Structure 1
Amino acid sequence: MQSKRGRVDSLDSDGLPYVGASLQSGDIVIGKVTESGEDHSEKLKHTEKGMVEKVVLSANHDGVNVANVTLRQSRSLCVGDKFASMHGQKGVVGLLDSQENFPFTRQGIVPDMVINPHGFPTRQTPGQLLEAALGKGIALGGTSRYATPFTTPSLDVITEQLHRAGFSRWGGESVLNGQTGERTRALVFMGPTFYQRLTHMAEDKVKFRNTGPVHPLTRQPVEDKKRFGGVKFGEMERDCMLAHGAAANLHERLFMLSDFSQMHICQSCQRVANVIERDVDRWKKLRGPYCPFCRSAENIVRINVPYGAKLLYQELFCMGICLKFETEFR
């Protein structure tokens, strides 16, 4: 069954999707039809899709039926996804590579993740390093340690445990380059660490658009991603453009592609002229810019301004504040 308002293949007779249904963007997730035949169904946004995990039908205090549909998605790891350890050492994935390109030890152990050691002194998370060193000694010795925040093994105990296993005092070992096969000169520390995936994923963060809807009042792009909004270009981004000397790019971002508008200025009184239709005589009417202060249609120029500036002038004019504009020819 195909509908102009969206696909309804996944809906049961009660208008709700069945558990396990695969929904894509634009599909109807909750079907609602009035007695007169008007369709008020709920569609998925262009950023929503997934498998139906749970469907709950309840009612509020007023007796109105409420339906909640929970979706789930299966996402593979991609560049830009965020991970964090139990010590708050968070970071994003910068590179995904094959296992054969990673460094490996003489036992054939290949790490799952390579992190920058500069994160330990800057983020002040030595506990993660101690956790990895203690876990490495426990895994090699087959012993168990009571390592809670209340009774933590000392640094000497951890290093002595690694030293007995055949490593240096801090557990570093020589690894081979997976791409060239050469042995690295520096020792590399490798140990077990628990990492968890955070919900800050690149698929949810990415935003792109060419043109799209604008706000009806300010005529500037809307900000919501689900409404095809644009990316906010704030004051700090503007400062970066000025520091790079990219004035033309700044003019394009904040003016030409945002809320380009035009105003008519009277050069005699430096006030804004309005585009009106006036009577020249009883037989002739003219439509064009006309200055109500000078009562003249001469010496009027047209300038390019952001619509936000024009809107600000109109709001100030309603408050009895009249602005003057100095114009010059280029």
Structure 2
Amino acid sequence: MPSKIDPNDWDANFSAKGPRQQGPLGVLLQTLLVLGIAGGLGYGVWLLNQSLDEQNAANNATATAVAPTMFARATQRALQATQAAIPTATPNLPLGRSLATTPLRFEPDERSGSKGNINPNDSLQYIESREVNGVVWWNVRLAERANTDLPAADLGTNGWVVATSVTEPSAPPPVVADATAVPAGPIDLPTAPIDPSSVILTRNSNTNMSVSHPQAWTEYVIGDDLAVFFSTATDGEQGILARKVIGKSEDAAGIQAAIEETINLLAAPNTQREYVINASEGTVKFVRVVRSQEAKIQAFVTVKPGPGGSLGVIVSFVPESGYAANEAILQQMARNAIVQ
């Protein structure tokens, strides 16, 4: 049957107001556009990944190159610190050892101050030798201690010792021929005046003696159990010593002997003393080792009768340079001592 033509079909499909139909060319163009966009996005993603991979490779190469350098620098610093912490002996110095406990002295002289001791079998380095008044001295350095339990000078300390107290060196060190020693003379320490208002009286129950002293001074053990000693330190340059001396007569000879025995507790060995004693009182000048250095000391001394025929010897002292300024208070402290 012939189709029926509806006059309205033309207007519905082909009029200017009707729906537009897309042809094959339009479909092709749309397809190409979609494919182009998708391809561009994929290529962009690929480029981004490639760039990231290259950057990571470069970072890894840099880290690989820098790490050994950093490790090498750290290792070098550690080695330098370790080497700095290890004491090294001075090269080319002959070696030997100590034969006895001996002080390392500032100068080649028995009167010179001590820097500390060396002890038997301590290892020494020999710096130079010197002959003084017919006695050979070595200037040695303490390199290694044989017994760390004994008191000794610090490692590396050098000082003078008599040759008979050490072994012969492994090789001859430099010799100073025909040297004349200049003894390290005792020093004269500065002294502040003692404040009389600070002086108190303290009784010692062990000796049953009472002693006047500045309150800041401390009691130390010195000599035998019949002595009382107050000072700024065990080797202080100021102090007062009271001691009972047994077996001495109460005459000039007995008093002098008692004073000399007591001064021996304070003075450096083998040093000169200058006594000016009138009856039972007077002054004494002597040398005392103060902080490892010999110092000039002057003292006021008084002697009192004690129980059982004993003599009480009281010595109050300061550095020689300060004696005149402190003489009155030194006399007062010594005379106020009570010997029972």
Larger relative contact order (C-alpha < 8 A, sep ≥ 6)?
2
Q: TM-score, normalised by structure 1?
A: 0.19
- The structure number with the bigger radius of gyration is 2
Q: TM-score, normalised by structure 2?
A: 0.19
Query: Normalized per residue, which structure has more strand?
Result: 2
Query: Normalized per residue, which structure has more helix?
Result: 2
